[in-house]
Amino acid sequence: MRSFSGIRNKTKDTKVLFVWKEMWPEDKDRRQGTRGGSGYGLFNGDGTIESLSPENGYAHLCDKYNDKISKSEKLTKIINHVNPDVVCLTRPVSYDTLTDVIIRIQNNGNGNGHNGKKVTFTTTPEIYEKHVGRLKGKIKTNGDILPVLDLKREYHKGYYLFLKRLFDILFSLILLILALPVFLITALLIKLTGKGPVFYNQVRAGINGYPFKLYKFRSMKYNPEDSISQCINLDRFNQPVYKFSSDSRITPIGRVLRKTSIDELPQLFNVLKGDMSWVGPRPEDIRIVERYNAFFKERLRVRPGITGFQQVKCRGIPDMMERMNWDLKYIENRSLLMDLRIIFLSVFVVISKKGAW
């Protein structure tokens, strides 16, 4: 056990799993530099850190006993065993591995997190900038001796994110008030034309793969989304996407809601909660994202949006590569002016009903 007083513990029982860049020096000497899993340390909340090494009873978690599984599977196995409240990554890890681990740990089928609790993933500014995204200007961290960044947050230059969030909140509140009659009429029509709830939620992948529950007006027959994996073999698709121009599960009123995009109005609550923004890449079903390769995971680097370049330019187009190219264009060039332009274009796309199914 080693003292680690440099990190302030918010609560006495908080457990922090550290993924170290290097092993403890004495462990290196003891095993002549062989990897044995001591690149992991558990901060127990009492100011001490325990190395997850064979000497401390963690032989089954060590690297040399898990050479045949991927890095993401290895780290997931360790997190499942230790069950920490916080995971702090100070060892370089690819963005592909990072998002894979977050999805594996945070998603248990209903977005409620690992063992019923949310695990906070953090990393240092250096690792963030190398593997997640560029940091420009003064970035606010947790203020501890070891500065870390929460991977559920976005970090961007200047006041862009502040103004973007302010716009999201104000615009959503105004639209919710104006659209209240539409909400009431839509809810009534859904109840009168079939059985089932007015709203439905589905687990989607948010920023850096963090799962969240997306809200929509129900446009399909009662409870169809639970059977997607049964009625659609996702593994048979060449690209990680499914989209059909005709779907027997869609109700008559649901088809109208989709063509007019009224079914997406409840996502205003997702924006207010901070799960989504007004503009960003389309949030995808978590079961689709689990099939992403490293290239497609690049679209997870920013918060998803109700509308975006992909939604405007590729509405109704199932080709994932074309949609991905528009997402990357937004991620690399986003600004307030671009956000306003996309919202303006979205109005015309909805009115024209182009590509709406």
Residues of the chain with pLDDT under 50: 1-11, 22-38, 109-111, 137, 145, 225
Whether 65 and 83 map to the same domain: the answer is: yes
Task: Tell whether 177 and 271 lie within a shared domain.
Answer: yes
Tell me: do 22 and 96 sit in the same domain.
yes
What's the structural domain count of the chain? 2
- Look at residues 150, 180, 210 and tell me which one is the last residue of a structural domain: 150
Q: CA dist 250 to 46, 93, 194, 258, 357, Å?
A: 55, 42, 12, 9, 10
pLDDT at 294: 85
- Tell me: do 217 and 132 sit in the same domain: no
Is residue 276, in this structure, part of any structural domain at all? yes
Last residue of a domain, which of 132, 150, 168? Answer: 150
Residue 306 has a pLDDT of 95
Residue 59: the pLDDT is: 61
Indicate whether 155 belongs to any domain: no
In a domain, 78, yes or no: yes
Q: Do residue 340 and residue 195 come from a single domain?
A: yes
192 and 220 fall within a common domain: yes
**Amino acid 249: pLDDT:** 76
Task: Please check whether residues 184 and 140 belong to one and the same domain.
Answer: no
- In-domain check, residue 357: no
Residue 281 resides in a domain: yes
- For residue 168, what are the domain limits? 160-352
Same domain, 29 and 125: yes
Domain shared by 144 and 178, yes or no:
no
Which pTM value belongs to this model? 0.78
In a domain, 44, yes or no: yes
Shared-domain flag, residues 220 and 121: no
Whether 67 and 171 share a structural domain: no
216 within domain boundaries: yes
Residues recorded for the chain: 357
Q: Which of the listed residues 92, 120, 150 is the one where a domain comes to its end? A: 150
- Which DSSP string corresponds to 46-84? SSEEEE-SGGGT-GGGSGGG-TTS-HHHHHHHHHHHH--
Q: Do 120 and 254 belong together in one domain? A: no
CATH number at residue 115: 3.30.420
Q: Does residue 291 form part of some domain?
A: yes
Decide the pairing of beta strands 149-150 and 199-205.
unpaired
